[in-house]
Amino acid sequence: MKRLVIVHRALSNLRTGGAYYLANTISYLQSRKINMEVVDIGNLPTSIRRHRLLIVIYLCKHYWKYHQGMFHFTNHNLYFYLLVPYFLSRMRGSKYGCACHLAQYPLRKNLIMRWFEFLCEYLFLKGASLLIIPSEAATQQFKIFHLKKDKCIIINPAPNVVDTSKPRFRGHVRTLLFVGHITWRKGLDTIVKAMALLKDLKLHLEVVGIIDKNTPYWKELARTIEHYDLGKKIQFRGGLQPEELKRLYRKADIFVFPSRHETYGMVLMEAMSFGLPVVASTIPTTSEVIRDNINGILYPPEDIKALASAIRRIASDPKLRSRIIWNNKERTKSTRTWEDVGEENLSAIAYFLKD
């Protein structure tokens, strides 16, 4: 295989499912002794990381020097930094590919920035030789870019934690669980508002995910929690190690997935492996994993009353809850591993490097 270069934003600070995906792929490729180099932007001095232009210059110098026979593989949410260096290196004969986990431009509220990021993303994805997409549903997000099907490959991720023990059924429901980065896209605010409609059930919410308390979203979320007087009913755990996360999955009674915008949702398979009933928004991604009334209850995104109703229904119907628990354990008896994912990525990259 020709030399492979993988660019990562920060291997020491994995915030998203896409970052975990790429990090696990790197780990697998390293175990296979592939001729590769990992460019971790997180290892750059702080003085450089503070300035986007300096990062772009660093990457331009790096790829101009080491362009020969390389295939660049990265998560495309770095396109702002990578667009110029990648096109420079491609002019000299290099190929590049990327893992397409999420279209970034729809998340921008500023219209000018949204169109600018759309243009950058369009150019970057159009120039790629290989696009690895995590689900069939995710391909719908990228339709607007009119990507060629022959360079798109779907490789589903694997859950980070799974449970193979027998399911446990509790007669009462007390604990809801949310796992995800604390951002608007993940929809935690909708669970908080739904809990305000469910005070009679005396529910407690466990939140697992990295928090940036300087963001407007977090500040608004904190105000919402204070407004509904839910401070004692919500516990923020931050990012957890796998064993700690397993403990919370086993403690929880219902898993809530209120995401507004997603391309796979690895946590769905994690929660199902623990037998947890799932309440999830009806975004395209969930339809690949969750069947309504079989693995959980689906509700329209942003519909707070429907979310509260779905939680109440599972909490108040032991027969429904028991059926979903057993269905989810059955559905996840044979789950993918990150070794499977790594091998499929290796095969895809090797195919595009054969020339």
248 lies in the same domain as 103: no
27 lies in the same domain as 111: yes
pLDDT in tens, 324-333: 999 998 888 8
Name the residue among 198, 182, 200, 162 with its Cα closest to residue 236: 182
User: Does 169 reside within a domain?
Assistant: no
pLDDT in tens, 221-279: 999 999 999 999 999 999 888 899 999 999 999 999 999 888 888 899 999 999 999 99
Angle at 177 between CA 175 and CA 181, to 5 degrees: 155
- Number of separate domains in the chain: 2
- What strand order describes the sheet that includes 130-133? 36-40, 4-8, 71-75, 95-99, 130-133, 152-154
User: Does 170 reside within a domain?
Assistant: no
| Domain CATH code at residue 203 | 3.40.50.2000
pLDDT reported for residue 186: 93
187: left (phi over 0), alpha (psi -120 to 50) or beta: left
Measured between alpha carbons, how far is 124 from 139 in angstroms, rounded to an integer?
16
136 lies in the same domain as 24: yes
In this prediction the pTM is 0.87
54 lies in the same domain as 107: yes
105 lies in the same domain as 17: yes
pLDDT reported for residue 67: 67
pLDDT reported for residue 122: 86
User: Does 123 reside within a domain?
Assistant: yes
**Residue scoring higher pLDDT (129 or 257):** 257
98 lies in the same domain as 146: yes
Instruction: Catalogue the long-range contacts made by 239-248 (C-beta closer than 8 Å, 24 or more residues apart).
Output: 239/208, 239/209, 239/210, 240/208, 242/160, 242/161, 245/160, 245/161, 245/179, 245/208, 246/161, 246/163, 246/274, 248/177, 248/206, 248/208
Average pLDDT over residues 113-136: 85
User: Does 167 reside within a domain?
Assistant: no
pLDDT in tens, 13-41: 777 777 888 888 999 999 998 888 888 88
pLDDT reported for residue 345: 92
- Please give the single-letter amino acid code of residue 295: N
User: Does 84 reside within a domain?
Assistant: yes
User: Does 137 reside within a domain?
Assistant: yes
Confidence tier at 193 by pLDDT (50, 70, 90): very high
pLDDT in tens, 141-183: 788 888 888 889 999 888 888 888 877 777 788 999 999 989 9
pLDDT reported for residue 273: 92
Name the residue among 7, 129, 4, 28 with its Cα closest to residue 79: 7
Measured between alpha carbons, how far is 338 from 343 in angstroms, rounded to an integer?
8
Can you tell me which residue has the tokens 């407007």? 216
194 lies in the same domain as 215: yes
Q: What domain range includes position 17?
A: 4-158+337-353
For residue 71, is pLDDT > 90? no
180 lies in the same domain as 326: yes
70 lies in the same domain as 128: yes
Measured between alpha carbons, how far is 181 from 167 in angstroms, rounded to an integer?
27
DSSP helix/strand/coil, 277:
coil
137 lies in the same domain as 261: no
Measured between alpha carbons, how far is 10 from 348 in angstroms, rounded to an integer?
24
pLDDT in tens, 85-123: 777 777 777 788 888 887 777 777 788 888 888 888 888
User: Does 140 reside within a domain?
Assistant: yes
146 lies in the same domain as 225: no
Structure tokens at 36: 């590769």
User: Does 166 reside within a domain?
Assistant: no
Name the residue among 185, 167, 175 with its Cα closest to residue 207: 175
For 187-247, where are the E strands, in sequence order? 204-208, 234-238
211 lies in the same domain as 128: no
pLDDT in tens, 332-342: 887 888 999 99
- Please give the single-letter amino acid code of residue 136: E
